[in-house]
Amino acid sequence: YYYRYGRKLLRLNYIRQAGESVLREKAAAVDPTAIVSTDVKKLIDRMIKTMRSHGDLGIAAPQLGRPLRIITLEITKRHLSYLQAQYRNVVQRDTVPLQVLINPQLKVLDNHKVAEYESCSSIHNCMAKVPRYTTVEVSALDRHGNRINYIADGWLSRILQHEVDHLDGLLYVDKMLSKTFAKV
C-alpha cells in the first residue's frame, strides 16, 4: 500500500492499512529476555519515530507489520491543546511523557463508557465515535523490562484501549458507532 500524492506522505507507506492481515492477528507476547535485544530495540525506536512523524497519540507494533505486544504513546502539549479545543466528552488535563508498554494488560475500573471521535493511521482519512471505558488500570513492562503499573482516565485511557485492541487484532471500526463514521 502506498500513497501517490507527494513525497512527504510516502512515509505513510510504513503504516499498515486496514485490510492487511497483520492488523487482524493476535500479537504474540514479547519474551522478557528479548526486550533488550537489538531487534526489539530497533522496532521500538521505529515505532516512536513513526508515531511522532504522524503526530499520533499512540501506535502498536502490528501497525508496522510486527505482531508483537508492544505499544508506544505520548500526549504532548501540542496534542493537549488540540484535544482540549476539539473534545468536550473526554477530559485530559495533563501531558503524558513518552511511554513504551510491553505486554500491556488492562483492567477496567469503571464500567461507564464514553463515546468520542477517534482516528487511526491504519484507517487513513477516516474517523468515528467509539465508546471506551473511562478508567482502566494498566500493567506492563517498560523498555528496560521494569514493571509499570498505573491508573488512567481521560484520553490516556482511550489511547490505551485503542492500542491494546490493535494487539488483539481489533480496529476501531469493530466498536464504532457506525452512524458517526466520517471521511476527513
Selected range binding Zn ion among 20-28, 118-126, 141-149, 176-184, rule: CB under 5 A: 118-126
Give whichever of 35 and 120 is closer to Zn ion, judged by the CB atom.
120
Counting contacts by CB under 5 A, is residue 167 touching Zn ion?
no
Who contacts 125 (Cβ-Cβ below 8 Å, separation ≥6)?
A: 183, 184
Who contacts 149 (Cβ-Cβ below 8 Å, separation ≥6)?
A: 137, 138, 139, 140
Q: Please give the DSSP secondary-structure letter assigned to residue 68.
A: B
Question: Looking at the chain, how many residues does it have?
Answer: 184
Euclidean distance between CA atoms 184 and 166, whole angstroms: 22
Counting contacts by CB under 5 A, is residue 120 touching Zn ion?
yes
Give whichever of 9 and 91 is closer to its own copies, judged by the CB atom.
9
Who contacts 143 (Cβ-Cβ below 8 Å, separation ≥6)?
A: 35, 41, 44, 100, 102
Selected range binding Zn ion among 23-31, 34-42, 108-116, 117-125, rule: CB under 5 A: 117-125
Which of its own copies, Zn ion, none does residue 120 bind (CB under 5 to 8 Å by kind)? Zn ion
Q: Decide the pairing of beta strands 126-141 and 147-152.
A: antiparallel
Give whichever of 125 and 146 is closer to its own copies, judged by the CB atom.
125
C-alpha cell at 129: 465515535
User: Out of 74, 116, 118, 163, which one is annotated catalytic?
Assistant: 163
**Pick from 18, 48, 108, 114: which binds its own copies (CB under 8 A)?**
18
Q: How many residues make contact with its own copies (CB under 8 A)?
A: 23
Taking only Cα atoms into account, the Rg of the chain, rounded to an integer number of angstroms, comes to: 16
Alpha helices of the chain — where are they, by DSSP H? 38-54, 77-86, 154-167
Counting contacts by CB under 8 A, is residue 183 touching its own copies?
yes
CB of 66 to its own copies, least distance (A): 19
Selected range binding its own copies among 47-55, 125-133, 143-151, 157-165, rule: CB under 8 A: 125-133
74 is catalytic: no
Where along the sequence are the contacts to its own copies (CB under 8 A)? 1, 4-6, 17-19, 24, 122-127, 171, 173-174, 178-179, 181-184
